Amino acid sequence: MFNILSALCFLVLMFFAVVQVVGRKVFNAPIFGYIDWVEQVMVIFAFIGVAYCQREGGHVRMELLIRNFRKRLLWFVEVIGISIGLFIIGILIFTSFDHFLRAYEIGDSTINADLPVWPAKLIIPIAFASLWFRLLLHFVGYFRLFLNPNQAVSEVPIILGISQEAEKEIEDALGDAEARGG
């Protein structure tokens, strides 16, 4: 749901930019506070889809070393990494919420259009909380695999080989052959 919201905000922002450019160039009537509005909406698509990206294993990771690990060692390293992520994101949730509260209490606003910034600052701890819960699910999944490495891998992103990754990207771009009727 958050990823769809993020994509919709991105789409709205693109249309908003077109209206701004056409209005400014053709009609000499730019949108008042355009930059302020972009700053507010940008927070949504920059942060709100981060848990979905984690779910899909789309974050940039250093897999050169752990790609060679197998079974229990791999799951142990993943548990350690997710534990560190849970700790850091937990801290970021509280500190970003403090920033939201401060902006709300002092009535912080943008320079040009005088838009309140607290709604955009509230999105960040919400997005981080969503990511924290996703990391918690991954922690449970990796810990389960660490305890019993012979279980089927499910509910966690796995490291794909180069050819497997290429096949997945082709499938994502073109769709499944049976679904296309071919």
Report the distance separating Cα 107 and Cα 36, nearest Å: 15
pLDDT tens per residue across all 182 residues of the chain? 888 888 898 899 999 999 999 999 999 999 999 999 999 988 988 888 888 888 877 776 767 677 777 888 889 988 999 999 999 999 999 999 999 999 999 999 999 899 999 999 999 999 999 999 999 999 999 999 999 888 888 778 877 777 877 888 888 888 765 545 55
Domain segments of the chain: what residues? 2-174
* 32: three-class secondary structure by DSSP: coil
The residues near 160 (Cβ < 8 Å, ≥ 6 apart) are: 168
Residues constituting the chain: 182
How far apart (Å, rounded) are the C-alpha atoms in residues 47 and 137? 19
Per the listing, tokens 């942060």 go with: 47
pTM of the predicted model, to two decimals? 0.81
